[in-house]
Every structure is written in C-alpha cells, then in structure tokens.
Amino acid sequence: LALAEQYEKRYKEKLRTNFDHSHPAIIKQLRPANFWERIAEYRFDLLAASELIHFRTFTGSHCQTPITNGRGKLDLDFIAWRDNFLKHMLFNWVKAQRGSKELWAVVELGPKGSGYALDCFPDVWKDAIVARGEIDKVFKNALRRAKK
C-alpha cells in the first residue's frame, strides 16, 4: 500500500494492482466473520479499479484451503470464505464499476508440495474446477443484486 501511495503522489493516478487477499488474511489472523470488513479497510479504491484478482481460498491461519472434501461436498472452510469474503468482494467490486469493465479472476490453488496445498487436500485441479463454478455463481448473483 505504501508503494501505491508513492505512485499516486508521483504520477497523479492510481497504481494498477492485482490482489491476492490470502496473505493479508493470515498476517492479520482474520476470522470468517470479519474477512470482508477487515480486508475492505485497505484501499478499496484500488480493488475497485483492479481488473485482475487471485481467488485463493483462505482462513485466518492457512493461505490455501481445499474447495471440496474430496467426496463431492464443499469444504466448510471454502463455504466460510465464499460467504464471508467472496460474496462481499464481488458485490462491492461490481457496485463500484462505472461502465463496462472486465474482472479477470484466477482460481489460484497451488499444487501439493508447493507450500500451499497440504498432502491431505483432495485433487487440486478438480477442486479448481469446482471453485470456478462457485465463483461464477457468486459473480452472476452479484451482477443481479447490483442492478437492484
């Protein structure tokens, strides 16, 4: 954020920023009930201007969580992330847009052995496919809600 402030001072425009909220969530030890509230404190204007975001599921203590339980059901940590961060983030991003704009979203799930996915996680690629579908549903719902 300090870099963004210095950039604005020098160039009189906002720094284009790509966000991955999983790391600040861990540093601040956020809990699901306040994911969005706490993350939105940090320069929402930069997030609103962003056209690229990394969607890595997180908790306040893990930078990446599984999407499913490996048996077809959504993981409870994913549900908490979706309901307490993703829904709020996408709705507020859509609401802040003026005109047509695209948001490129990367479902970011690191492979096992990378320091992100643990050995006990289900297949990360299959989870990424499920996450993409869930993110799409939330985005479409945010578009509908923002029109009201």
Q: In what order do the strands lie in the sheet with 52-55?
A: 19-20, 52-55, 104-107
Per-residue pLDDT reduced to its tens digit, 56-79:
898 888 889 999 999 999 999 999
> Residue 100 has what pLDDT?
61
Q: What is the pTM of this model?
A: 0.88
Closest-CA residue to 42 (of 61, 23, 65, 58): 23
Torsion of CA 95, 135, 56, 96, to 10 degrees: -10
pLDDT bucket at 99, cuts 50 / 70 / 90: low
Confidence check: pLDDT of 115 > 90: no
